[in-house]
Amino acid sequence: MNEYRVYKVLVLEDDLTDANLIERQCKKSQFLFKITWATRVSEAIGYLDQQGFDAIVADMNVPDSSGLRTISQLREHCGKSAIIVLTSIDDRMIEKEIFSAGAQDFRKKDELSSVSLGRGIVHAIERQEQVNQIKRLVGRLKKSQKRLTVQSQQLKRKNRRLTKLYRTAREFVDNVSHDLRTPLTVIKDYVSIIRDGMAGSVQAEQMKLLGKVALRTDDLNHMVDDILDASKLESGLLGAWRRTSCTCQLLEHAASLLRERASINGVKLVIDCPQDLPEVYCDCEKAIRVITNLGINAIKHSRSGQTVTIWAKLQPEEGEVRIGITDRGPGIERESLELIFQRFEQLKDQVSSTVQGFGLGLNIAQRLTHINLGKLTVESQVGKGSTFSFTVPLSDPMEVLSRWLALRSGRSSTLRALEIVLDESIPEIDADDFDRFVNCQLRRQDILFRVTTRCWMLIMPIESNEMPMWEQRAERDFVRFNRNRPQGPLPGYSRRFIQHWSPQVSRQHILSEFDQYLSQVAMESERPELTNC
């Protein structure tokens, strides 16, 4: 309440005595008022059209208007001014009608005093100003809502168009990539036939040229693999078949795919893998793909006579094995180390200036490593070479689950643990075949453990209302799996949900209960009877 503000008040009163009384009472109050007097509504409207007033003190009955009509006419011409009505009628219904017509307050003429009238006018002005402010805010909100509605509709149209374009582009890439497979396979097969002498003798120089053709064919094959993997990663269709694996076998398999390339480039390929390394838990195909991608890059950036080493070492404190590829190439500048993992980025150097690709290899290697619950890193010195290495967790269910839970930190889905069991009478070779079926049931966000030869633990972030759909799909897929199995159908399996964890449950609590489950399975000689599926 501002005592130094001058309030502009229009008084509508045709009785001179009452008008003088109102003016005197206003002057006696603690507030400053500037009074303008009108005797008719038409005259008051004329003043309102010329200037603004903070408040209007109006008699309801004047020569050219009477009753609520007076208030309505004033409100129509002074949307932002407070209206205080003077009346001699003492009726509750009249009070409601006065407020409904747009007045902020009313006063009985025979109860006017300087204190009550002045304070009542100021309070009415303040209430009206609050109403005006609310109306402005509501108006802005409506404009904003209208603008947001228009923008939302535009965004939805653009999203639909982008979705359609993205789907079309992905289908095009997939179709082209698959169509490239056939001619590339034919080229490679015919080159192999000629190199093996099956179509006649081949001179040494011709053999060298054919080797380069085979090498470039492999490059194209790798590009196609990169494109397909990138498409699957973007669409969430690239799953994982994680299982216990021998590290040295992974390195040897990858090396067998790299030796011919290294030989043609004049690069020596060395494998350094201690035979006593413990087993790791990963998707073998993806781990080999990462080694191969990194190895191809290392060979490309190496000069003839240089060495590329594929190595592995145990990091027991971290519960992992680190696999690396070290070259003696030109190295990478510090500011470029982060850039090389981005999609469609390639660095240029004198060694590899003739080697072209899409710049997807390292980005895909990084994402495949992430699927295997590891991390890809690089160390490099300009002029001395580079080392790309990635980690793979040891074949320890507790370590694997801990990493998987860490990746899920902050997500809100309920976790459910499903135990899947095969009958003891089923041969182990059939159990291995069933393992492939179980892995086919995995969604990308699930984690699966083969606890024993015939027992699996599947942990899924899934809500209860999604379970019936998953179970129906699992039963339908098992029927299809058995129908297409050359060795004949499996007799069936059992499954049960043994635990669920809400998003509020701590990671340590989940690990503790999982550890107890593993201990229980290890001690049990007979499993409880479960419901057959």
> What is the pLDDT, as a whole number, of residue 527?
43
Q: Which residue's entry shows tokens 């049990």? A: 524
Give the residue among 368, 356, 345, 389 at the shortest CA–CA distance from 230.
368
Q: Is the pTM of this model over 0.85?
A: no
Query: Is the pLDDT score of 425 beyond 60?
Result: yes
> What is the pLDDT, as a whole number, of residue 350?
41
> What is the pLDDT, as a whole number, of residue 449?
92
The verdict on domain 397-523 having CATH code 3.30.70.2880 is: yes
Question: pLDDT higher for 342 or 310?
Answer: 310
Query: Is the pLDDT score of 71 beyond 90?
Result: no
> What is the pLDDT, as a whole number, of residue 170?
65
> What is the pLDDT, as a whole number, of residue 352?
45
Any idea of the CA torsion for 231, 234, 236, 242, to the nearest 10 degrees?
A: 80
The verdict on domain 6-137 having CATH code 3.40.50.2300 is: yes
Helix, strand, or coil (residue 343): coil
Q: List the beta bridge partners of residue 323.
A: 312, 390
Among residues of the chain, what percentage have pLDDT more than 90?
23
Any idea of the CA torsion for 94, 36, 32, 22, to the nearest 10 degrees?
A: -50
Band the pLDDT of 92: cuts 50, 70, 90: low
Query: Is the pLDDT score of 469 beyond 70?
Result: yes
What count of other Cβ atoms lies within 10 Å of the Cβ of residue 38?
21
Give the residue among 372, 369, 158, 350 at the shortest CA–CA distance from 244.
372
- H-helix or E-strand spanning residue 388: strand 385-393
Q: What is the CATH superfamily name and number for domain 241-393? A: Histidine kinase-like ATPase, C-terminal domain (3.30.565.10)
DSSP 204-263: HHHHHHHHHHHHHHHHHHHHHHHHHHHHHHHHT-----EEEE-HHHHHHHHHHHHHHHHH
Residue ranges per domain, the chain?
6-137, 241-393, 397-523
Burial (Cβ within 10 Å: 0-12, 13-18, ≥19) of residue 210: middle
> What is the pLDDT, as a whole number, of residue 177?
63
Any residues with CB less than 8 A from the CB of 497 and at least 6 apart, and which? 416, 417, 418, 419
Query: What distance in Å separates the CA atoms of residue 425 and residue 532, rounded to the nearest whole number?
Result: 15
Identical topology for domains 6-137 and 397-523: no
Give the mean pLDDT of 152-164: 84
Give the mean pLDDT of 370-381: 91
Give the mean pLDDT of 443-472: 88
Query: Is the pLDDT score of 377 beyond 80?
Result: yes
Query: Is the pLDDT score of 526 beyond 80?
Result: no
Please name the amino acid found at residue 188. K
Would you say 81 and 52 are in contact if contact means Cβ atoms under 8 Å apart? yes
State both tokens at 10: 């229009």
Query: What distance in Å separates the CA atoms of residue 250 and residue 227, rounded to the nearest whole number?
Result: 23
Mean pLDDT in the chain? 82
Would you say 74 and 83 are in contact if contact means Cβ atoms under 8 Å apart? yes
Query: Is the pLDDT score of 423 beyond 90?
Result: no
The tens digit of pLDDT for each residue in 96-115 reads 777 777 787 777 776 665 55
Give the mean pLDDT of 213-242: 69
Q: Are strands 320-326 and 280-283 parallel, antiparallel or unpaired?
A: unpaired
Q: Which residues of 414-440 are buried (b: 16+ CB within 10 A; e: fewer)?
A: bbbbbbbbbeeebeeebbeebbebbbe
Query: What distance in Å separates the CA atoms of residue 269 and residue 468, rounded to the nearest whole number?
Result: 52
Q: Which residue's entry shows tokens 């669920």? A: 500
Q: Are strands 493-501 and 415-422 parallel, antiparallel or unpaired?
A: antiparallel
The dihedral built from the CA positions of residue 506, 508, 509 and 510, taken in this order, carries a sign that is positive
Query: Is the pLDDT score of 34 beyond 70?
Result: yes
Question: pLDDT higher for 148 or 308?
Answer: 308
Lowest mean pLDDT among 187-196, 228-237, 390-399: 228-237
The tens digit of pLDDT for each residue in 277-297 reads 999 999 898 899 899 989 988
